[in-house]
């Protein structure tokens, strides 16, 4: 398990959530190195005119060699890294899960399992209450 990223610039995704009444989770997805040239990290494309990141882009590009990958195909190959406190048993642990949202109790979530009590835990996409 690696260290928590130092800045959000290193990540495609970063969140800090409460889980249930007394748990919490910090989760992130690191930007991977370009699989083509290995010299730079993939990122969202930048508009050459405005210099702003195109946040709705469906591709990631390598700033070094311009290699492109399809976001939808590439995301599931990435991992969400999680540091959590389990709301069921209080265990403080680390977990990894697929960078792919799954529907759980009516909300799109990243799902993982507590390594101590095996309860399923969900990091919802948005701050949304799960249906009980």
Q: What is the DSSP letter of 7?
A: S
- CA 98 vs. chain centroid, Å, equals 8
Part of the chain binding Zn ion (CB under 5 A), chosen from 10-18, 76-84, 94-102, 117-125: 117-125
CB of 65 to Zn ion, least distance (A): 3
Separation in Å, CA 66 to CA 31, 49, 61, 69, 114: 15, 17, 6, 10, 39
Part of the chain binding Zn ion (CB under 5 A), chosen from 12-20, 31-39, 69-77, 94-102: 31-39
Q: How many CB atoms lie within 10 A of CB 56?
A: 6
Q: Does 37 sit near Zn ion (CB under 5 A)?
A: yes
Q: Does 88 sit near Zn ion (CB under 5 A)?
A: yes
Q: Which of 68, 78, 91, 100 binds Zn ion (CB under 5 A)?
A: 91
Nearest C-alpha neighbor of 87 from the set 38, 21, 37: 21
* Closer of 29 and 61 to Zn ion (Cβ): 61
Residue whose entry in the numeric block shows the structure tokens 């928590």: 4
The residue ranges that bind Zn ion (CB under 5 A) are 34, 36-37, 62, 64-65, 67, 86, 88-89, 91, 114, 116-117
């Amino acid at each position: 398990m690696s260290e928590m990223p130092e800045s959000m610039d290193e990540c495609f995704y970063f969140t800090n959530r409460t889980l249930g009444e007394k748990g919490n989770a910090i989760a992130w997805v690191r930007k991977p190195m370009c699989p083509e040239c290995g010299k730079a990290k993939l990122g969202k494309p930048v508009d050459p005119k405005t210099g702003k990141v195109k946040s709705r882009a469906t591709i990631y590009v390598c700033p070094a060699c311009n290699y492109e990958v399809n976001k939808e195909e590439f995301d599931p190959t990435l991992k969400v890294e999680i540091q959590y406190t389990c709301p069921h048993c209080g265990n403080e642990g680390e977990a990894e899960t697929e960078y792919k949202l799954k529907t759980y109790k009516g909300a799109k979530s990243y799902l993982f399992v507590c390594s101590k009590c095996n309860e399923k835990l969900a990091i919802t996409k948005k701050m949304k209450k799960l249906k009980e």
